Chains A and B, each alone.
Chain A
Amino acid sequence: AQKITQTQPGMFVQEKEAVTLDCTYDTSDQSYGLFWYKQPSSGEMIFLIYQGSYDEQNATEGRYSLNFQKARKSANLVISASQLGDSAMYFCAIKSYNQGGKLIFGQGTELSVKP
């Protein structure tokens, strides 16, 4: 079974600073992907970034980067230069490619950006 653990229910960050949101995972599969989604107060799910288990380099997408440590089974999201619009819920998720694309989510971290 796959599992995602996000240990930070809530985080605060000052505008323009960087913030790291933690994510650890558990899976017995060798081939999997890790995803981060953002959910603003309006409720939609917005895809941010993806890391494959065989990718050797950490993924980056604009101000988002994923600090992937395979041996530690962690996939932390780093947001650089935080903006007020980054205030939202952030979810880490894992997809096993041996299980037809089933995506399992963590509990989420609520990020608040202070001006």
Chain B
Amino acid sequence: NAGVTQTPKFQVLKTGQSMTLQCAQDMNHEYMSWYRQDPGMGLRLIHYSVGAGITDQGEVPNGYNVSRSTTEDFPLRLLSAAPSQTSVYFCASSDTVGEQYFGPGTRLTVT
């Protein structure tokens, strides 16, 4: 049972480049979400999904796109990376009531 997996673990981008952060879970959770964590701060919700085909914006959605074509996968797309998007990104999944299970995180640096 892998839980929540994220790839890559580390990524360096140049300003203006695009990329997709991958997230997958094998617990059949309906709810998935993406957070970013800046140094010394808490986790801020970027986008979330309550099921396949359904996504919504969180607290800091600008500059990011998501889609949810399957229950298992929830990729996060950066269309045109900016230095302000340098952060650690966490993907998480849960059922509606229970705890959220987090992936190991992706450390992204935009130069």
User: What is the minimal beta-carbon distance from B99 to any residue of chain A, in angstroms?
Assistant: 5
With A101-B96, A103-B100 known as contacts, the answer to whether A108 contacts B42 (CB < 8 A) is yes
Q: Which of A87-115 contact B (CB under 8 A)?
A: 91, 95, 97, 100-108
How many residues of chain B get a CB closer than 8 Å to chain A's CBs?
Answer: 28
Is there an interface contact between A101 and B42, defined as CB atoms closer than 8 Å?
no
Is there an interface contact between B42 and A100, defined as CB atoms closer than 8 Å?
no
Give the residues in chain A near B96, CB-CB below 8 Å.
97, 100-101
CA distance A106 to B99 in the complex (A): 16
Is there an interface contact between A106 and B42, defined as CB atoms closer than 8 Å?
yes
Residue A25 is within 8 A (CB to CB) of chain B in the complex: no
CA distance A17 to B105 in the complex (A): 32
With A97-B97, A107-B41 known as contacts, the answer to whether A43 contacts B88 (CB < 8 A) is yes
Residue A68 is within 8 A (CB to CB) of chain B in the complex: no
User: What is the minimal beta-carbon distance from B88 to any residue of chain A, in angstroms?
Assistant: 7
Is there an interface contact between A44 and B50, defined as CB atoms closer than 8 Å?
no
What per-residue 1/0 map shows which CB atoms of B48-59 lie under 8 Å from chain A?
101000001011
Is there an interface contact between B50 and A101, defined as CB atoms closer than 8 Å?
yes
Residue A40 is within 8 A (CB to CB) of chain B in the complex: no
Additional 4 contacts, C-beta under 8 A, given A52-B97, A101-B96: A100-B48, A103-B94, A104-B59, A105-B44
